[in-house]
Amino acid sequence: MKISEFNGNDIELGTEKFKQEYPMTAAEAFRNPVEDAFINASAVMRARKADVESDAGLIIGVDPALGEKDKFAIIRRRGRLAYKLERHTNHNTMQIAGVIRKIIEQERPSKVYVDCIGIGAGVVDRLLEMGFTQVEGINSARQASERFKFANKRAEMWSEMREWLNGELPVQIPDSDVLHADLCGLGYKWTSNGQLIIERKEDLKKRGLGSPDTADALALTFAGGFYEVADPVMQDRQHIINTKGKFF
């Protein structure tokens, strides 16, 4: 009855509002939603419940962070399937690089996109120094590829991610309350030139919310677009270089 009162025409939206007013989990209790949320909660819930298989190239997004307040997040994506979300705390730059190195050697992704603002620059430099050429640093504050539509690269990646979630074909994400809250917690606006801006982390923190590290990690997997096809020959070649140091 209460859900119906909130929004009788949209059960999923009413459910989201119910959770905001009557939280039953920690993730729900600390949500601080905005009216102009960039990503719709119903699209996220649909992706949480979907079952998708994909053999597309493996893309990994990494949002580094130090300390206890902001967690460093890693997520994998193969086309329409995003999976295996990880969150870590109390890691320094070299430890973060070590975690990523182990993942690359074991899972052999075609690309690893790392937010290189701040500590991420040191992480990227170290991984490239070790020969992991599939690693690419992404400065989310830089100019977008479509600079007339987006104020920066971050807005472009988030827009790609929203289109992916809202597309006709089903997509799957980890069934995580934390990721759900991070995806739906950010607002947006437009510049006087009509460019899209996604709410900054600084403004989010002013509203009492932490950094949306899991959502930013997923957005990073779209730095190169929806799909990237792995090259098995190059993957095998890189794997041999990194694990053996020479060809056989």
- Express each pLDDT in 75-133 by its tens digit: 999 999 999 999 988 788 999 999 999 999 999 999 999 999 988 999 999 999 999 99
Strand partners, 111: 59
Which regions in the chain score pLDDT beneath 50?
Answer: 30, 230-248
Residues 133, 123: Cα–Cα separation, whole Å:
13
Domain 24-229, what fold?
Answer: Nucleotidyltransferase; domain 5 (3.30.420)
240-244 — which CB contacts under 8 Å span 24+ positions?
241/131, 242/104, 242/105, 242/130, 242/131, 242/132, 243/105
pLDDT of residue 28: 61
pLDDT of residue 82: 97
Rounded to an integer, what is the distance from CA 221 to the centroid of its chain?
7
This prediction's pTM = 0.80
Residues 155, 196: Cα–Cα separation, whole Å:
6
